[in-house]
Amino acid sequence: MRIYVLRQLVLLIITLFLLTIFAFCLSYWFPGDPVTNSSGIFSDDTMRYADAASSRGFDGNILVQYWHYLAHLFRGDWGISLLDSDPVFEQLQLRFGATLEIAVLAMLIALVPGVALGVLSALNFRKPIDHTILSMSLSGYSIPVFWFAQIAILLVAVRWGMLPIAGQINPLFNIEAVTGSILLDIFINQPENMGLAFRSAIRHITLPVLVLSVMPMMLLIRLTRSSMLDVLDKNYITSAYAKGLSTRRVISSHAIPNAMQNVIRELGSLLSLLITNTMIIEVIFSWPGIGSWLIRSIYERDYPVIQGGLLLIAALILCVHVALNLIHAWRYPQVRKDLHATS
Amino acid sequence: MNRLIKGISAGLAILGISACSPGPETEQSLNGLLYCAEGNPESFNPQLVTSGTTLDMTSAQLYDRLLEFDAESQAFLGALATSWEISNDGLRYRFQLRENVQFHTTPWFQPTRFMNADDIVFSFERWLKSEHPFHHVSGRGYPFFRASGLTQLIQSVTAINDHEVEIKIRQQDSSFLANLASDFAIVLSAEYGEQLLASGTAELIDTQPIGTGPFQFSQFRKDVMVRYIRHSGYWREPSASAQLVFRIAQSDHKRMLMLLTQDCDISPYPPARDIQWLRDKPEITLQDTISPNTAFWAFNTERPPFDDPLVRQALAHAVNRNAILNTVYFDHAVRADSILPNTSWAHHGTPSAYRYDPERARELLAEAGYPNGFSMQIWALPVQRAYNPNARLMAERIQADLNAIGVQAGIVSYEWSTFRRRLADGEHDSVLIGWSADHADPDNFFRPLLSCAAKRSGNNRAQWCDPMFDELLSAAISSNDQDVRKAYYEQAQDHLAREVPLLPIAHSVRFQAARQNIQGLELEPFGGIQLRNVSRQQPAVEEQ
């Protein structure tokens, strides 16, 4: 296990390193001046431009420049936005918390019904319940997320007036953004009407999270179902029945845990899809995460922001993949053995 | 695993229960106002900007001016100045300042004195004098003061004593007070300026603002909101709401939905196509005002056949402007019978000069020697403007109308900056364009648009220079007697009705939507929105 963890971590570090090289090269590949592209300072601001150029090692060769780039990266100096001169790292920090908040909540919400329905469907293989669940998941998966969002807004918010449609909380609550995640921020700020603030935040978060959770939920149903079907075919299930275990015991302590093995492995790729959808949802629900900010930066060619956002999202997805691999290996020893055997 | 599942289901249950609990009555009782703005403020100092978005969010909320213009009584009212005297030659203005006016007390600045003459001098010299320590701070220039000619006009601003300021100007100008009353001429704190200079953070003067206005700055989160809180030491009655939050939502459609879902209390500029739908909603109040702007069709009077007033009159009679109001503006505009909007005190409409009468148009054309018409070009501005939501469509309507009197018109359009440059060079036959007022003085619609000076600066779309008209304008601004000025402006407008260098088309309506329970909201015809008297009616206490 120790070797496996080590190998995974080394792999992670190497990939992150390659990623920084790629992000670094972007400053040169984007049209325009590399100093401006990496620092966000225009050349007409002569003093600061000269400062930026020398502190980023632009008088040296490309290796020196890369070294300075890494130094800036670790110092948290990711340049400033070309559009409004906001420091990129600071903005990313604030906005990333907000993005993570809805993405994680949506994932958690997708998990329970997704797995449960998948199991149910597999147990009733080719029965009406199976068909119903399967066709529901197929249609739910094929409908794009922005359409769901529009329908939810029109019905739940505008027609029935049940929920708000914009922002994280009623802005009359004075909650200073520390982490960017509104639920955590309320806890940190400890306002006097905390109960009310939490209620407002939950009302605001409900629609985006529910809409966002549809797609992963539908995928999870299908994943769980096929993985369950595989497992149910296995000999050890037959032998468990033969030993006289009740169906309930067989399913809960043999079938489901083993079926989860595949599901956990696929969670990583689900996450990449989820992040993309989160960006769309953020724009629709005015959620102050990185999504709306990155989309604007792409429109306006705000290179320092594009670079920072790319680095952050890619690093996040990488880290989650590695973490899932580790969990996977820790929970399922045969995976480790497989890996040893192949290496 | 089991524990995890239990935890998640418990969390889901809580989420579900709280989400389904009924409406936001309790949130509604928070004392504050949500205004959905259409963009981020560029700065928190209106001296630096010209955009209406920034003006709405800063000027009347954070600051005060020396005087204000009251649209109802059409008169200037004292604000930070209680009274003013103008010397007989009209070159010296002396302002008596209000006493005991407090600046905002915030975590970053605690004023030790009341507002006095030094603050006025400090604020005005910031845009007036390049040696002022703050003149180059923020590096944006002072576009309004330069364009209105104030930087040229004002000779000096001096403090006579603590509560008296004298402004000397170089020549008589009756629009001077109107410029001082505009949203741009706000008063900053000189003491705050000194504090910032001492700490070497001069640029904070525009990002952590201090003023004397009804609200004080609290927080700005880009793309999310701007938070102001009540300034308890305000010299007028304190603001009706304890908090004022501007939420930032760029899409007009989104703002409208947010209004319906109570995410906003007030929202400016709802989409034109949804006006009627909003009007039918009982929970929404829709306010409108004729904003002081004019869309017009200007003829290049240097080019034949448009150098002949008869031709210009004929074209004016050929256009069915009521139909244009209907198709282009969805009736959210009124017909313009003068270049000067009908909200101005000097307005003098001449509907008969511009009436729709194709018969008369044909007679006039024949009289001018074009019985079989001619062909011409209409330039349509390529962007949307408050005064004209769709110039291309308007040009097509006019094209059809002209066809009826035998004039063949082609429609021309260029990319916006090219369009403006070619217009200034006078390459057009005729152009559909317009003008929005910066302040209430009628001069703003004449001198910058139709004077010989405007022709020289490339702003006169009709390329029209008439010494007699210019004389009327000069006579009007060199007097301070409103009746005398009115008489001159009437003559000027009659002159325009005879000469028709341009055909006024419409004064469009500015809309603002608010929730039914918002009180004290008024939509002023001139720019900046006033929010200090606005509050949300508290929900009536219901049965237990």
Give tens-digit pLDDT for A133-161. 999 999 888 889 999 999 999 999 988 88
- Min distance A159 CA to chain B CA atoms (Å): 9
Q: What's the confidence (pLDDT) of residue B250?
A: 78
Q: Let me know if residue A88 belongs to a domain.
A: no
Whether chain A has a CB inside 8 Å of the CB on B483: the answer is: no
Residue B415: its pLDDT value, please?
67
A222 pLDDT band (50/70/90 cuts)? very high
Residue of A nearest to B21 (CA): A162
pLDDT at position B417: 61
Mean pLDDT of B478-495: 89
Whether A295 is covered by a domain: the verdict is no
Does a structural domain hold residue A90? no
Is B350 a residue whose pLDDT tops 60?
A: yes
Using the predicted structure, report yes or no on whether residue A166 has a pLDDT greater than 70. Answer: yes
Average pLDDT, chain A: 88
Indicate whether A320 pLDDT > 60. Answer: yes
Cβ distance A170 to B30 less than 8 Å, yes or no, reads yes
Q: Residue B539: which pLDDT band, with cuts at 50, 70 and 90?
A: low
Q: How many angstroms separate the CA of residue B22 from the nearest CA in chain A?
A: 7
Q: Please say if the pLDDT value at position A341 is more than 60.
A: no
CATH 3.90.76.10: does it fit domain B43-55+62-208? yes
Same domain for A217 and A182:
yes
**B247 to chain A: which residues are within 8 Å by CB?**
166-167, 171
B228 contact residues in A (CB cutoff 8 A): none
Q: pLDDT at residue A1 above 90?
A: no
Q: How many CB pairs under 8 A join A and B?
A: 97
A55 and A204 both lie in a single domain: no
Q: How many domains does chain A have?
A: 2
| CATH architecture, range B293-508 | Roll (3.10)
Partners of A299 on chain B (C-beta within 8 Å) are none
A167 touches B at CB < 8 Å: yes
Q: Most B CBs within 10 Å: which of A172, A249, A296, as the mutation test of the B interface?
A: A172
Point out the least confidently predicted range of A84-93, A137-146, A334-343, B394-403: A334-343
Q: Flag whether A252 is in a domain.
A: yes
For residue A275, what is the domain's CATH number? 1.10.3720.10
CA distances from A334 to A265, A337, A341, B399 (A): 14, 5, 10, 80
A147 domain-assigned: yes
B216 near B231, Cβ under 8 Å? Answer: yes
Q: Can you name the residues that pair with B393 across neighbouring β-strands?
A: none
Q: What percent of chain B stands above pLDDT 70? A: 90
* Same domain, residue pair A308 and A273: no
B152 pLDDT higher than 90: no
pLDDT reported for residue B28: 64
What are the pLDDT digits (tens) for B48-80?
876 777 888 999 999 999 998 887 777 889 999
CB contact under 8 Å between A199 and B222, yes or no, is no
Mean pLDDT of all residues in A226-234: 92
Per-residue model confidence (pLDDT) at position A107: 92
Q: Is the pLDDT of residue B10 over 70?
A: no
Mean pLDDT value of segment B418-442 = 82
**Measured between alpha carbons, how far is residue B251 from residues A191, B188, B267, B268, B452 in Å?**
31, 33, 11, 11, 41
Helix axes A303-331, A256-284, angle to 10 degrees: 170
* Helix, strand, coil % over all residues of chain B, rounded to 5: 35, 20, 40
Indicate the residue type of B281.
K
Query: What's the distance, CA B79 to chain centroid?
Result: 20
Q: What is the pLDDT of residue B19?
A: 45
User: Which pLDDT score, from 0 to 100, does residue A337 have?
Assistant: 66
CA–CA separation, A143 vs B125, rounded Å? 61
Asked, for residue A293, whether it belongs to a domain, the answer is no
The answer to whether residue B32 neighbours chain A at the CB level (below 8 Å) is yes
| Residue B26 pLDDT level (bands cut at 50, 70, 90) | low
Instruction: pLDDT band for B24, please (50, 70, 90 cuts).
Output: very low
A171·B5 Cβ contact <8 A: no
Alpha-carbon gap, residue A74 to A91, rounded angstroms: 16
* Chain A residues with CB-CB distance to B9 below 8 A: 112
What is the C-alpha R_g of chain A? Answer: 24
Q: What letters, b where the CB count within 10 A reaches 16 and e where it falls short, cover B145-155?
A: beebebeebbe
What is the tens place of the pLDDT at every residue in A256-288? 988 988 888 888 888 888 988 999 999 999 999
**Stretch B508-530: mean pLDDT:** 83
Residue B16, pLDDT score: 47
Q: Point out which residues pair with B294 in neighbouring strands.
A: B435
Q: How many percent of chain A have pLDDT more than 90?
A: 37
Residues of chain B contacting residue A200, judged by C-beta atoms under 8 Å apart: 24, 27
Question: Which residues touch A83 (CB under 8 Å, ≥6 apart)?
Answer: A296, A297, A300, A302, A305
Whether B219 and chain A come into contact, CB under 8 Å, resolves to yes
- Chain A residue numbers touching B245 (CB-CB < 8 A): 171-172
- The one-letter code for the residue type at B361 is A
**A258 and A342: one domain?**
no
Residue A28 has a pLDDT of 87
- Taking 90 as the threshold, does the pLDDT of residue B396 lie above it? yes
- Cα A97 to Cα B456: distance, rounded to the nearest angstrom: 56
Q: How confident is the model at residue B540 (pLDDT cuts 50, 70, 90)?
A: low
Q: What is the pLDDT of residue B104?
A: 96
Among B28-32, B280-284, B382-386, where is mean pLDDT lowest?
B382-386
Instruction: Name the nearest CA neighbour of B192 among B100, B115, B128.
Output: B115
Residues 339-398 of B with CB under 8 A from A: none
Name the band, by pLDDT with cuts 50, 70 and 90, for residue B23: very low
Let me know whether A268 and A125 are in one domain. Answer: yes
Task: Return all residues near B16 (Cβ < 8 A) that are at least 6 apart.
Answer: none
Give domain limits for chain B.
43-55+62-208, 293-508
> Looking at the predicted structure, is the pLDDT value of residue B451 above 80?
yes
Shortest distance between the Cα of A230 and any Cα of chain B, in A, equals 21
Q: Does B218 touch chain A (CB under 8 A)?
A: yes
In this structure, the answer to whether residues A205 and A342 fall within a common structural domain is no
Tell me, what's the pLDDT at B310? 92
- Flag whether pLDDT at B543 surpasses 70: no
Are residues A110 and A201 part of one domain? yes
Q: Of B46-55, B271-280, B381-390, B467-476, where does the model show the most confidence?
A: B467-476
Tell me the residues of chain B between 258 and 317 that have a Cβ less than 8 Å away from chain A: 258, 260-263
Tell me which of A168 and A45 has the higher pLDDT.
Answer: A168
What is the reported pLDDT for B334? Answer: 86
Which tops the pLDDT comparison, B423 or A289? Answer: A289
Q: Give SS3 for B83.
A: strand
How do strand B154-161 and strand B75-78 relate by DSSP bridges?
unpaired
User: How sure is the predictor about A58, in pLDDT bands with cuts at 50, 70 and 90?
Assistant: confident
Nearest CA distance, B348 vs chain A (angstrom): 46
Q: What average pLDDT score do residues B447-460 get?
A: 78
Q: Please name the member of A157, A173, A292 whose beta carbon is closest to the beta carbon of B261.
A: A157
Mutate to test the interface with B, among A95, A286, A296 (most CBs of B within 10 A): A286
- Domain that residue A147 falls in: 97-288
Mean pLDDT score of chain B: 85
**pLDDT at residue A198 in the model:** 93
Q: What pTM was estimated for this model as a whole?
A: 0.78
State pLDDT tens for residues B265-309: 998 877 777 888 888 889 999 888 777 889 999 999 998 889 999
The amino acid sitting at B288 is: D
pLDDT at A298: 84
